Amino acid sequence: MAKLFYAKDCNEDVLKSKQIAIIGYGSQGHAHALNLHESGFNVIVGLYDGSPSWKKAEDAGLKVMTAKDAAAAADLIMILVNDEKQPTLYKESIEPGLTAGKTLAFAHGFNIHYKQIEPPKDVNVIMIAPKGPGHTVRSEYEAGKGVPCLIAVYQDATGNAKDIALAYAAGIGGARAGILETTFKEETETDLFGEQAVLCGGVSELMKAGFETLVEAGYQPESAYFECVHEMKLIIDLVNKGGLNFMRHSISDTAEYGDYSIGQRIITDETKKEMKKVLSEIQDGTFAKNWIAENKNNRPTFTDRRKKEQELQVETVGKDLRDQMIWN
């Protein structure tokens, strides 16, 4: 079984005397910056001139500079802007200040693994990837808990890159939940596959198909939404807490029987065959090439699909129902 690292395995002093620059102040950026700051690390936030996040970060008690100035001033530079924006940001604002012995950090391996960013050999290149969205990284830390983190070392120029990654992960709360060592390749490929085949693509299409099947059969859209979308979280919370068997223990025997007898009729051998094809396209770079090209073309397909998805009946019905849920 793979080893998990906890607080006792992390020496935060490795980073406590260093300057950390968090580039970006979005979902992950604000969580990393605030968690590190409250853990006693020296943090500056790097943004572009005129960023609406500048005042937010200052109001939170953080020092803010332009990304270029922050990178020049920092010993560790964590890039937390969108994957597609990172290569240009790196060339314009990070690379000029990336001198020997510094540490370049990422929360996802995409741009290193697919060689969209190629750092000099005399710097550390590491990854600290929380396995949860930024607001959860922040809320769990505030609750005295943490989100599990992955760490990886791509280049170890100083001989202690792993120690730096562990210290950073501990600083954002990861050591409270567990830190798993991986590689940039493994994190990138498994993360993309999970998003596409299961967590986002797979689950979204499954919920939409279930909703549409019930509505097309004449059932109320509101009933279909509750059954196929709203209850998804309740089931996943049970799985998250205790695994599939805990979830099955918590549901009715009728539901459990349906799980065993019908699940494999929905997720078939053909589905798994397609999953393997999806994984191969991630591994051979096909997906990355298509996504990079889509961004260079100003995202025509992406933007059109986003608009269509926002207008689906499952979304309009869901919004109306959520607006009436007073506990929300």
What is the set of active-site residues?
108
Residue 113 near residue 124 (C-beta atoms within 8 A): no
Largest CA distance in the chain: 66
SS3 state at 124 = strand
Q: Are strands 19-23 and 42-47 parallel, antiparallel or unpaired?
A: parallel
Q: At what angle do helices 134-142 and 27-38 cross, to 10 degrees?
A: 20
Q: What is the Cα–Cα distance from 45 to 56, expressed in whole angstroms?
A: 11
Residue 230 near residue 314 (C-beta atoms within 8 A): no
Q: How many CB atoms lie within 10 A of CB 147?
A: 24
Torsion angle in degrees (nearest 10) through CA of 294, 299, 304, 309: 80
CA 64 to chain centre: 24
Q: Are strands 63-66 and 124-130 parallel, antiparallel or unpaired?
A: unpaired
Which runs of consecutive H residues, i.e. helices, occur in 143-220? 161-171, 174-177, 184-193, 201-216
Question: Residue 308: enclosing H or E segment and its boundaries?
Answer: helix 300-310
